[in-house]
Chains A and B, each alone.
Chain A
Amino acid sequence: MNILAAILLIGGLIFFAGGAIGILRFPDFYSRLHPAGKLDTAGQFMMMAAVALFVLQDLSWQSFLTAAKIILIVIFVFITSPTATHAIVDAGVRAGLKPWTKAERL
């Protein structure tokens, strides 16, 4: 169980690191939100799964409650993360920022 939790933690770390590098590498504001909004979802999903598994090692009522709370965190982030991304993109559009296109690079 410990090994499985460690593997999930490392996988989540890779996703978070990919998100951070993606924010730096993508060309403009809008395309940077693709890694920012998506890789975080998978990263936190894997990390929370690892933590929940680790907590559930000793089967007691308290650890079950803690695992339920962790699952609730995952559900709320799944709902709020795309909404927040959408709000940031919408703010950019309202401020009049034009998206980066391939034509600009050539």
Chain B
Amino acid sequence: MKKALPSSRADKPTDSNLSQTKRFRQFNFGTLLSFFILFGLWVVLSGRFDGFHLVLGVISSAIVALISGDLIFTSPKIRSILMLWLRWVGYVPWLVFQVFLANLQVMYLTFHPRMLDLIDPHIIEFDSRLKSDYARTTFANSITLTPGTITVNATVLGRFAVHCINTKSGQALPGKMEAKVAKVFNE
């Protein structure tokens, strides 16, 4: 990667391949960021700080980042990626709170003597206005983590099928959570 940087700088003045240069540099940024994330993971998981292990980590993270660096960061702009992550971090505390509500509700149902009277399972379907893959994945996983609902299926066209444990938990969908996810992913 260090070798690639000067060549991209040398390409800059020529007008003809400017767009190609731009794409090259964007590609580099995504790869670079995933390299640092992978290397951080390596350092934490190995726990050894001698030269041999660090060099091994650099080599293997570089290989993985070069092969699959464009998988994690799909957006071309640095700012938008960082802002997205910041907003996503802001979304997590609300999600954790919902997870604990979900756990308490399922615990209540599990130990209730007349549990079969309380539940009324059924599958509902609705259309989501979320467009990108990441937004839909986050939304589907959030549905599964929140009280009384499990995502059954999410189609390419944005149609969600959700299994609800009772009628009340299904009525809240898509509603507030979709709005929150849409805000995170700027849609």
- Chain A residues with CB under 8 Å of chain B are 15, 18-19, 21-22, 25-28, 30-31, 33-35, 37-39, 41-42, 62, 65, 68-69, 72, 78-79, 82-83, 85-86, 89-90, 93, 99-102, 105
CA–CA, A69 to B123, complex, Å?
38
Q: Is the CB of A86 within 8 A of B122?
A: no
Given known A-B contacts A89-B150, A99-B122, A35 and B106 have beta carbons under 8 A apart? yes
Per the bound structure, the CA–CA distance linking A28 and B163 in Å amounts to: 12
How many residues in B have their beta carbons less than 8 Å from beta carbons of A?
A: 32
Residues from chain B with a CB closer than 8 A to the CB of A15 are 103, 107
Beta-carbon contact of A18 and B163 below 8 Å: no
Contact A82 B121 (CB under 8 A): no
Secondary structure type dominating chain A contacts: helix
In chain B between 114 and 165, which residues have their CB closer than 8 angstroms to a CB of chain A?
Answer: 115-116, 119-123, 140-141, 144-145, 148, 150-153, 161, 163, 165
Count A-B contacts at CB 8 Å: 100
**Is there an interface contact between A31 and B103, defined as CB atoms closer than 8 Å?**
no
Chain A hits for B148, CB < 8 A: 34
Complex CA–CA separation, A82 to B121 (angstroms): 19
B residues engaging A (CB < 8 A)?
41, 44-45, 47, 99-100, 102-103, 106-107, 109-111, 115-116, 119-123, 140-141, 144-145, 148, 150-153, 161, 163, 165
Whether the pair A85, B115 counts as a contact (CB closer than 8 A) is no
- Known contacts A30-B150, A33-B150, A69 near B44 by CB under 8 Å: yes
Residue among B110, B120, B122 facing the most chain A CB atoms (10 A cut-off) = B110
Of chain B, the residue at the smallest CB distance from A40 is B103
- Do residues A72 and B44 form an inter-chain contact, with CB atoms below 8 A? yes
Asked whether A82 and B47 contact (CB < 8 A) given A27-B116, A28-B121, the answer is no
**Least Cβ–Cβ distance between B163 and chain A, in angstroms:** 5
Q: Complex: how many Å from CA A21 to CA B102?
A: 16
Instruction: Please name all residues of chain B whose beta carbon is closer than 8 Å to the beta carbon of A22 when the two chains form the complex.
Output: 106, 109-110
Instruction: Give, as a whole number of angstroms, the nearest-CB distance from A27 to chain B.
Output: 6
Interface pair A89/B163, CB less than 8 Å apart? yes
* Sample of 10 A–B contacts (CB below 8 Å): A26-B115, A30-B163, A31-B119, A38-B145, A65-B47, A69-B45, A89-B151, A90-B152, A99-B123, A102-B121
